[in-house]
Amino acid sequence: MNNEKIIDKLTEENFDSMFVFKPENIKYISDFYPTSFAYLVIANDEPILYVNSIDKQDAEAQSKIETCDIKKLSEIKDLLVGNIAVEGSVDFEYLKYLTNDISKLKMSDAIEKARMIKTSDEIDKIRKSIEIASKSIYEIDFTKSEKYAAATLEFNMNINGSNNPAFDTIVASAVRSSSPHSVPTDNKVETPIVVDWGARYDHYCSDITRTFIDTERQEEIWDIVLEAQKAAYDVVAPGVKCSDVDKAARDVIADYGYGDYFIHSTGHSFGLDIHESPNISFNNDSLLEENMVITIEPGIYIPGELGVRIEDDVLVSNNPEVLTRKLPKKLDFVI
Amino acid sequence: MNNEKIIDKLTEENFDSMFVFKPENIKYISDFYPTSFAYLVIANDEPILYVNSIDKQDAEAQSKIETCDIKKLSEIKDLLVGNIAVEGSVDFEYLKYLTNDISKLKMSDAIEKARMIKTSDEIDKIRKSIEIASKSIYEIDFTKSEKYAAATLEFNMNINGSNNPAFDTIVASAVRSSSPHSVPTDNKVETPIVVDWGARYDHYCSDITRTFIDTERQEEIWDIVLEAQKAAYDVVAPGVKCSDVDKAARDVIADYGYGDYFIHSTGHSFGLDIHESPNISFNNDSLLEENMVITIEPGIYIPGELGVRIEDDVLVSNNPEVLTRKLPKKLDFVI
């Protein structure tokens, strides 16, 4: 069914064939995630997966589409007929093997477009990924360094059924919390502690942030961020502009005088990739649709002082579901 | 010094400027590894790093080249003068913003070429990465499932100073060892156990495999693989064809009648990426050079029965150094 959507979109865009290279897109179409060089060709309304010998056995067991032995890229020219689509993210270097005239190749986001709207099977996998991530945070060990804490959390996710972390786990404590992408250090953990983490279940991500606090000042900022998050939740619905969701959160933070300290977007879609379209940002006027899964993650980062972020995952519908709702916003912790 | 090599190569290739996008290449040139969208422009023999606000503080602290606020890609057209080089791995979709005429863009592997030959600073980081990986294997826990064992190893690498694993750790036991890229399962660990793992230290990889064995049949295969590995070691030297190193290992395995069961290349170069050029394969006639760092990793995989691989890391020179030599080929283990 996913694949019909993609083929319809390609036809609509007047393409006759497509070369697919990104592992996440191959997984989406075939249900098999390649561990080595692999590609997929869509031609005559039919996708075919090409894998090398190392992946053959697993691909045949898992793929729901036809699977063949990989050929040299130069040998698949004949399969790519008519108007040829490629992914925007395909490596430039491969293209010369696919056609004698690169200028004939055009990008299509047919697959990424299909991936924006999650199927019930995908939503189930994201739920499972969230369950693993949520369960694992209770066993994080804050008694040593930020790095140690991140390692304990990733370990717990792994043994709770995650393939691997959805992204490098962030444990940013004390003044380092004021940098949203802070890398865990050997410093001892102190409040506030921003923990941003996610699991992968059958390659589907989760993405959560909690900030552990214990002073009045931290609580003051935390309350504003939570209010901003709630304001954004209230706006989420099919047909709403992404920029309006961003604005709802941003306005709350600006009203409290911290507008300059909310230095990233309010959220993003995710699924097989941790960052997918649409981005929930001030300048993205595209519309939310039913069954998108997005993060809502406002934050305030005061340089040299502290940072606070609260991030939850939301299933877009007329009655939006906070998929991470079982995980309390405030968590007890022991240092 | 690295950068002079790159600029000389670009000049030699008749390029006037280059757009650099791959995080590993940005790290190589600037010493800063971006955590979000960033790029680097080389023009007038000078590299400049462009990062967004989230990375600004860290980039300014770590980068050894000039660092600026990121601009929209369409705004850097003016910076890219004359003949413009791009990486082969650059995303196709970015190219249209860099020039009005994509056909003018040409690929250059000037950076990958420079990266093939490791500097002493890089070799030190690889040594450190190997030290972390080696130390961590002694604490792997085989008492539960393959997944659990992999999680304990990754945890130990993390707390021993790895940024994150160099790649998804392989723990493939019993019959699953016969698939070289096997993903750890919930099955209980049984011999033979192929463990293929690596750390990252300041983004530099290590890559090691040990196979834990305990039957005569396993030992028989293991001995052949070790003999093949030694045969390959003996050939390694500057000026030797990669294919000759592959052949040395492959001939030993073929002589014992297992030629059809050695189903991958003998090794590969690594550094900031886990797979770099050159590949040590039967069809790669390029020459080894002083200060390349490569893996030597022959294996025998008998479908439905077992697999054995032994992998070590070698610094190429006239007196090649096995960087992983401190880690015994045979490790004691407890299940």
Complex ipTM, two decimals? 0.84
**Same-domain pairing of B111 and B149:** no
Q: Which of A87, A91, A179 sits opposite B88 (nearest CB)?
A: A91
pLDDT value at residue A335: 59
To the nearest whole Å, the CA of A101 is away from the closest chain B CA by: 10
pLDDT at B284 over 90: yes
**Whether residue A7 has pLDDT greater than 60:** yes
Residue finishing a domain among A60, A95, A116: A116
Which residues on B lie below 8 Å from A151 (Cβ)?
A: 155, 158-159
The shortest CB-CB distance from A181 to any of B54, B102, B105 is to B54
Min mean pLDDT across A153-167, A194-208, A243-257 is at A153-167
pLDDT at residue B334 in the model: 63
**What CATH number should be reported for the domain holding residue B153?**
3.90.230.10
Q: What per-residue confidence (pLDDT) applies to A315?
A: 98
**Residue A154's closest chain B neighbor by CA?**
B155
Residues A197 and A165 grouped into a single domain: yes
Assess if residue B300 is contained within a domain.
yes
Position B1 pLDDT exceeds 60: no
Give the confidence band of B22 by pLDDT, cuts at 50, 70, 90.
very high
Mean pLDDT computed over A279-289: 97
Q: What is the per-residue pLDDT for A209? A: 98
Are residue A38 and residue A60 in the same domain, yes or no?
yes
User: Does residue B335 lie in a domain region?
Assistant: no
Q: Is there a single domain that holds both residue A177 and residue A197?
A: yes
Q: Map residue A94 onto helix, strand or coil.
A: helix
For the stretch B120-177, pLDDT in tens is 999 999 999 999 999 999 999 999 999 999 999 999 999 999 988 999 999 999 999 9
Is residue B327 situated within a structural domain? no
Q: Are A212 and A197 in contact (CB under 8 A)?
A: no
Q: Is the pLDDT of residue A208 over 70?
A: yes
**How high is the pLDDT of residue A23?**
96
Q: How far is A224 from chain B (nearest CA, A)?
A: 21
Give mean pLDDT, residues A242-250.
98
pLDDT at A216: 96
* B287 min Cα distance to partner chain A (Å): 23
Q: What is the pLDDT of residue B184?
A: 93
Indicate whether B298 and B196 sit together in one domain. Answer: yes
The whole-number pLDDT of residue A257 equals 98
- Once rounded to an integer, what is the mean pLDDT over residues B88-116? 91
Q: Mark residue B53 as left, alpha or beta (left: phi above 0; alpha: psi -120 to 50; beta: remaining).
A: alpha
Q: Does the structure show a pLDDT above 70 at B53? A: yes
Q: Tell me how crowded residue A104 is: count the other CB atoms within 10 A of its CB.
A: 12
Assess whether A107 and A153 both reside in one domain.
Answer: no
Range of the domain at B73: 2-115
Q: Are residues B72 and B49 in the same domain?
A: yes
Contacts of B89 in chain A (CB under 8 A): 91-93
By CA distance, what is B147's nearest residue in A?
Answer: A159
Q: How far is Cα B254 from Cα B250, in angstroms, rounded to an integer?
A: 6
H helices of B141-293, in order, are 146-159, 216-235, 242-255
Whose CA is closest to A64, among A84, A90, A40, A36?
Answer: A40
> How far is it, in rounded angstroms, from Cα A214 to Cα B303?
57
The whole-number average pLDDT for the span A261-273 is: 97
pLDDT of residue B335: 59
Whether the pLDDT of residue B101 is over 90: the answer is no
B254 shares a domain with B110: no
Select from B53, B91, B154 the Cβ nearest to the Cβ of A158.
Answer: B154
A332 falls within a domain: no
The verdict on residue A136 lying in a domain is yes
Q: d(Cα B110, Cα A168) in Å, to the nearest integer?
A: 29
A312-315 and A306-309 beta bridge pairing: unpaired
Last residue of one domain, picked from the residues B115, B140, B167? B115
Crossing angle of helices A120-137 and A146-159, in 10° steps, is 130
Q: Please tell me the predicted confidence (pLDDT) of residue B278.
A: 97
DSSP string for B60-86: HHH-SSEEEE---GGGGTTTS-SSEEE
Final residue belonging to a domain, choices A98, A116, A134? A116
Q: What pLDDT, on the 0 to 100 scale, is given for residue A100?
A: 84
pLDDT for A236: 98
Overall domain count for chain A = 2
Question: Would B172 be classed as within a structural domain?
Answer: yes
B161 shares its domain with B296: yes
Q: What percent of chain B has pLDDT over 90?
A: 86
Token pair 């690929």 in the structure block, residue: B107
pLDDT at B332 over 80: no
pLDDT digits (tens, 9 = 90+) for A73-104: 989 988 998 999 999 999 999 998 998 888 88
Q: Please check whether residues A150 and A71 belong to one and the same domain.
A: no
Residue B332 falls inside a structural domain: no
Q: Which of A32-46, A176-190, A267-281, B93-107 has the lowest mean pLDDT?
A: B93-107
Q: In angstroms, rounded to a whole number, what is the distance separating the alpha carbons of residues A207 and A189?
A: 22
pLDDT at A319: 95
Residues A273 and A235 in one domain: yes
Is A206 within a domain? yes
Which range has the worst mean pLDDT, A179-193, A275-289, A312-326, B223-237?
A: A179-193
Answer yes or no: is pLDDT of B178 > 80.
yes
% of residues, chain B, pLDDT over 70 = 99
What is the mean predicted confidence (pLDDT) over A121-142?
A: 97
Q: What angle do CA A145, A149, A154 make, to 5 degrees?
A: 145
Which of A216-225, B51-60, B121-130, B223-232 is least confident?
Answer: B51-60
The structure tokens listed for B95 are 């190219």
CATH of the domain at B44: 3.40.350.10
Residues B68 and B138 in one domain: no
Min Cα distance B151 → chain A (Å) is 6
Give me chain A's average pLDDT, please: 95
Residue A57, pLDDT above cutoff 90: no
pLDDT at B100 over 90: no
Looking at residue B54, its pLDDT comes to 82
